[in-house]
Amino acid sequence: MSTTISLSCWVPVSLDYAWDCWTSPDGLRRWWWPHLSDTTYHVEPRVGGRYAISCPSAQIAVRGTLLALERPQLLRMSWRWGVEDAEGDDDLVEVRLVRREDGVHVTVTHEVLRRDEVEAYVQRWNGVMDRFAQLR
């Protein structure tokens, strides 16, 4: 049985800019682990495309497949945390972007398959979402 976590933030940027920050290596570099200098970013922005964000020095990584892209409002992807090829099913992450006054409201919903990882995911998502909210 899975557990769903959901986090939201508001960022004062255009909808297109917010979308590009989720779907391009240059965009991700602006906010996803920018403090870790050896982080690499790979995104194939199409349905079925792969993505991977990895930081060897911190021994952290996430990767998966883009399952849905509805520019500029919906991104759905499979999610696998870790630097090694683990067995088992992938989690599911959905990102929704909604244009609001002077910015974009972003909601991330993560369906976590392993209950013992929920708290760690909440902490990790809070960190990256805090950095996303600082985009200008």
Please, what's the b/e burial string for 57-91 (b: 16 or more CB within 10 A of its CB; e: otherwise)? eeebbbbbbbbebeebeebbbbbbbeeeeeeeebb
Strand partners, 100: 103
Please say if the pLDDT value at position 124 is more than 90: yes
Beta-carbon count within 10 A of 95 CB: 18
> What pLDDT, in 10s, does the model give residues 80-105?
998 666 677 999 999 999 999 899 99
Residue ranges covered by each domain of the chain: 3-133
pTM for this predicted structure? 0.94
Residue-wise pLDDT tens digits, 1-39:
899 999 999 999 999 999 999 999 999 999 999 999 999
3.40.640.10, 3.30.565.10, 3.40.190.170, 3.30.530.20: which CATH number matches 3-133? 3.30.530.20
Tens-digit pLDDT profile for residues 40-60:
999 999 999 999 999 999 999
- Looking at residue 88, its pLDDT comes to 77
